[in-house]
Structure 1
């Protein structure tokens, strides 16, 4: 990749630190892929984080508690069913501005800066889910 190699990330962020509202999960079920931010890419003015959420537990998985950011955040959850790519293969409960939403299809949501969101809870995982979050902030806070 040459001179642009410093802009490519191909491993999870080492020693990643998260705010207290992020819930620590079983690394066999929630598997970070990569995280782009000012720590991993020089000069990055945004962050992007990706992970796989895998079947293998009957318990619900809580990704985060209620919180806000001072930047817009994009969240995406995408199912892994080739026959119906819109089928999430799970149920996600996401609370936005104190309104509980239940989603069972692949989706993205843009959460405006300052809007409360969370908890995010995943239930009944039948197939892998690709999850991405991103925002215009050099660090996730």
Structure 2
């Protein structure tokens, strides 16, 4: 579990990373409308679930066994889960018409890469917040 203040910090950092990777100017957090902020917060809240589904855990501290990157298979599976999360969130706020509200298989590669960007950054961004992403078996 990540405390609320770290969820917001992760959401902010992910938002900035997304814009950087797309070579876009990031809208300042304070200037984003509430639904944009909530979309980023929802992604940050769900990150531990995605990592757990991949057999990974988030633990406090800089652990020696921390993961600095995900395997290609973990990245792909995590990106698929992030897309499902985004679809669920988007529909939950009443937005039912969007060209990306389709299955993963129907997305083109540039759109899939947007989900990969988010998932790829998790070990580094969580590390900046004082956490380590480790294999779940090493958490004991």
Tell me the TM-score normalized by structure 2.
Answer: 0.33
- Normalized per residue, the structure richer in helix is 2
The one of the two structures with greater contact order (alpha-carbon pairs below 8 A, sep at least 6) is 2
- Normalized per residue, the structure richer in strand is 1
Tell me the TM-score normalized by structure 1.
Answer: 0.33
